[in-house]
Amino acid sequence: MAKISVRQPHYIYSYDRFKPVDFSYHMHQYYEILYFVSGNAKYVIENKEFDMSEGDIFMTRPNELHTIIFNSDSVYERHFIQFDYEFLNGLSQTLFASADRAFSFNKVPGAQARKYGIDKLFEGIAQCIKEKKAEWDLLTKTFIAQIVIAICNIHNINDNSQLSSPRTAKIKQYLNAHFTDDFSLQSIADKLYMNKYYMCHIFKQEVNITIKEYIEMLRFAYAQKLYYEGKKLSDIAVMCGYGDYPLFYKNFTKYSGGVSPSAYFKRNNKRSPLK
C-alpha cells in the first residue's frame, strides 16, 4: 500500500513504511494512536519501555515524552492518528474523560487489538481515504471514534498497567500548568511542599529526563502551537516564558536538531490543523 496522509481540522491520519530513522524524545499538544504493522523497534514513553510486536497499539497523551528506538534496519510500517482535545470533546465529554484515562496505559497488545477489531478499523480508514469514498471525512471520524471506544473498553477490562507514582504525577501536573512561568527549582519545590533535591531525584528516576529538560520540551511543543496560530517568533519567545530571544533560540535548537526557529518552521511550513 502506498503512503497515505491527510490533515483535517482537529485530526491527522498517516500510513507509511520506510527505513528506520533517528527519532529524538519529543512530545505533542495532542493525542496520538500508533498502530504498529512491522519492523524491529522499541517504543519508549516516559519511564516505560515496550517491545513492539505486530499489531500492537500505542497511545500517548498531550505532553507525554516518547520516542521509537530501532533495533535493526528492518522496514518500519505503521498507521497513526493524531487528534486534539476539541475532536474528542466535540463527540462526547464522557468519551473524552474515559479516553484520557485509557490512554494513560499507553499500550494495547496486538492480540487484544485484533479481538476488538482495531486493526480492521485502521485498515478501514486507509481504504476509505485511498478510494476517496463519498463522505470520507465523516467516515474517518467515525472510525477514529470506534478505535477510541475500543481502547476504552479494553482498559476497563484490563486495568492493570503501572502509572507514574503519585509524587511524579503531582510534579508533572504542576509543570504542565505553569511551564511558561518564570521559575527556579526551589520555587517549584516550595509550591509542591517538597525537598528540592528529592523532587529532582524522583522525577529524573521515573521520567528519565530532568525537570528543566521537561519544561524546555513543553515550551518547544508550545512554541509550535503558537507559530501555527500565527504568532511572531519574538512574541512566541515571551509567551513561552523566555526573558529574551537568544535564550529561546538556544533552547529551541536543542530540540529541533540544531535548526533555528525560522528555518525549522520554514521547513515545516504546512499550517497544523491541530490548534
Phi, psi at 101, each rounded to 5°: -70, -45
Q: Which three cell numbers stand for residue 13?
A: 491520519
SS3 category, 256: coil
For residue 110, pLDDT over 90 is answered with yes
Better-predicted residue by pLDDT, 162 or 107: 107
Better-predicted residue by pLDDT, 144 or 265: 144
What letter represents residue 272's amino acid?
S
The model's confidence at residue 94, banded by pLDDT at 50, 70 and 90, is low
**What's residue 28's pLDDT?**
82
For residue 155, pLDDT over 90 is answered with no
For residue 133, pLDDT over 80 is answered with no
For residue 2, pLDDT over 90 is answered with no
Contacts of 177 (CB under 8 A, 6+ apart): none
For residue 272, pLDDT over 50 is answered with no
Mean of the pLDDT values across residues 119-145?
88
The model's confidence at residue 161, banded by pLDDT at 50, 70 and 90, is very low
What letter represents residue 214's amino acid?
Y
Residues 202-210: contacts with CB under 8 Å, at least 24 apart: 202/165, 202/167, 202/168, 202/171, 203/168, 203/171, 205/47, 206/46, 206/47, 206/164, 206/165, 206/168, 207/46, 207/47, 207/65, 207/164, 207/168, 207/172, 208/46, 208/47, 208/65, 209/25, 209/65
Mean of the pLDDT values across residues 90-102?
75
Q: Do the beta carbons of residue 233 and residue 263 sit within 8 Å? A: no
Given the DSSP bridges, would you call strands 31-38 and 48-51 parallel, antiparallel or unpaired? unpaired
Mean of the pLDDT values across residues 165-173?
84
Rounded CA gap, 49 and 206, in Å? 12
Given the DSSP bridges, would you call strands 107-108 and 48-51 parallel, antiparallel or unpaired? unpaired
Range with the poorest average pLDDT among 117-126, 157-166, 182-191: 157-166
213-240 pLDDT, tens per residue?
Answer: 889 888 888 887 788 788 999 999 999 9
Rounded CA gap, 251 and 220, in Å? 8
Strand partners, 35: 57, 79
Range with the poorest average pLDDT among 61-75, 116-130, 165-179: 165-179
